[in-house]
Structure 1
Amino acid sequence: MKHFSKITLSVLLVACGVFTSCSKDDDPAPQTASIYQRLGGTTMVADPDNPGQMIEKGRLSYRKVVNATIGLIVADIQAGANGNLQAHFQPLLSETGDTQATNIAELSDNLTDFFSYNTGGTNAVNEYSGLNMVDTHNPATNPRMGVKANNADYTKFEGYIGAAANANGVASNTQLYTDIVAVLESLRSPIVQN
C-alpha cells in the first residue's frame, strides 16, 4: 500500500505541476487594440464629406474630432475670448478666401494623418509626412505658426480636443478617452516651448 501511495502521490504532484504551468497566469496578456482600431480601424465606410468615396472608420473618427477642434478654436478666436489661441493661428487665419480654406483643410489633413498614424493607423492612407512636433510649433522653423505655446495654451488646446471628442461620442468610452489624453500629454513637452 505504501508503494501505491507514493506512486499516486508522485502522479498527483506531476499532474499538479503540469496543470499549474498551464494556468491562465502564464498566458500572454491580451493585447489591447490600438486607439485607431478602437475608433473604428480599417473598416471602410462611406465618407460623408466626399459622396461616392470610402474612408477608414478610424480615420473618419479622427477627422471629425480634428475638424470640430479647429471649429472650436476659430469660434473662440472670432469671439475674442480671453486667453484664446489666436496668436498661434494668426498666420493661417490672416490668409483670405480660397487660400485660407485650402490651408485649413491641409491643417485638418495633417492633424488627421498625424493622430491616425501615431495611434495605429499605419497604412499609406494615414502616413504623416509633416514636420516633427518641435519644428511644427516653432515660428522660426514654421512660418505658419504665430507664437510658441506655453502650458496654459496647450491645456486650452487639450480642452478643445476634449470638447470635440465629447461632441463626436469619443469621450463616452472612458478608457479610449483616457488613452487619447495620454497621447496628448506625451506631446506636451515637444509642443510647449515657451
Structure 2
Amino acid sequence: MTKYSKLALCALVFGAFTFTSCSSDNDDPAQEASIYERLGGTTMVADPDNAGQMIEQGRLSYRKVVNTTVGLIVADVQSNTTGNLSPHFAPLLTEVGAGNTTNLAVLVDNLTDFFSFNTGGTNAVNTYRGLDMVAAHNPAVNNRMGRTSTNADYNKFIGYVGAAAVQNGVAANTELYTDIVAVLESLRDPIVQ
C-alpha cells in the first residue's frame, strides 16, 4: 500500500468515526415507535368500561378494536350469510346463547393481550398467557375452536379487523394501519392450517 493510500484510508476511517459519533440517536429510523406506542402506549387514561379505573391508552385502543371486531363477527353470524365465521366459534356461541359470557370475555382479553404484547406493550398487564397460534386454532388441541381456518376465513377476519380499525379511528393513520395489517399477515401461516 502506498503512503498516499494509507493516508487516504486513515482520513476515511477518522471521518467515518467523527460523523457517526456525532450523529443523533433520534435520527435512526430503527428507533421508530412501536405500534403499541403509536396507539397511545403507556399513557394512562380513564377506562370507559370500568368507572374509576385507569388503563394504558395503547391497550384501550386494542381493546376497542377487538370488541368491535367481535361485534362484527357476531352480527355476521346472526345474519346467517354464507361464509360467515360461525363454525369457528360454535362452542363459544353456544355458551353465549345459554347466557354464559365468561369465555367470550377470556377471548377478548386474550386477543387484547396478544396484540398489545406483540406490538410493543411491555407492561405485565399486556402479557399474553394463551395458547400459541397453532394450538389456539387447532380444534384437536383447543376445544374452544370449532374448525380449522382457511385463507378465505382469515381474509374475512382481517376484513373485520380493518372495519373495526376504521370505526375506532385507527385506520385514519395509514402507516399505522399498514403496520397492523402486516402483523395480521405474519400470523396467517400458524392460523390457517
Superposition TM-score, scaled by structure 1 size:
0.86
* 1:32 partner amino acid: E
Aligned-partner Cα distance in 2 for 1:51–1:162: 28
Instruction: Provide the C-alpha distance between the structure 1 equivalents of 2:124 and 2:92, rounded to a whole number of angstroms.
Output: 27
Superposed CA deviations along residues 164-193 of structure 1, whole A, max 9, x for unmatched, are 000000001011001000000000000000
SS at match of 2:55: strand
Structure number with greater Rg is 1
Give the whole-Å Cα distance in 2 for the aligned partners of 1:62 and 1:152. 24
1:34-60 deviations in Å (ceiling 9; x for gaps): 000000000000000000000000000
> Which residue pairs with 1:142 in the alignment?
142
Identical aligned pairs, as a percentage?
Answer: 67
Where has structure 1 moved over 6 Å in runs of 4 or more? 16-20
AA paired with 1:171?
A
Task: Output aligned runs, 1:21-170, within 5 Å.
Answer: 22-23=18-19, 27=23, 29-30=28-29, 31-95=31-95, 96-99=97-100, 101-170=101-170
Between the aligned partners of 1:145 and 1:78, the Cα distance in structure 2 is: 18
Q: In 2, Cα distance between the equivalents of 1:119 and 1:61?
A: 12
Aligned residues: 180
Q: What SS does the corresponding residue of 2:128 show, helix, strand or coil?
A: coil
Q: Deviations over 1:106-145 (max 9, x none)?
A: 1100000000000000111000000000000000000010
1:174 aligns with 2:177: no
| Matched residue, 1:184 | 184
Gaps of 5+ in 1: 1-9
RMSD between aligned residues: 2.1
- What is the CA-CA distance between 1:105 and the residue it aligns to? 1.1
Q: For residues 187 and 122 of structure 1, what CA distance do their matches in structure 2 show?
A: 20
Quote the Cα distance in structure 2 between the aligned partners of 1:79 and 1:144.
22
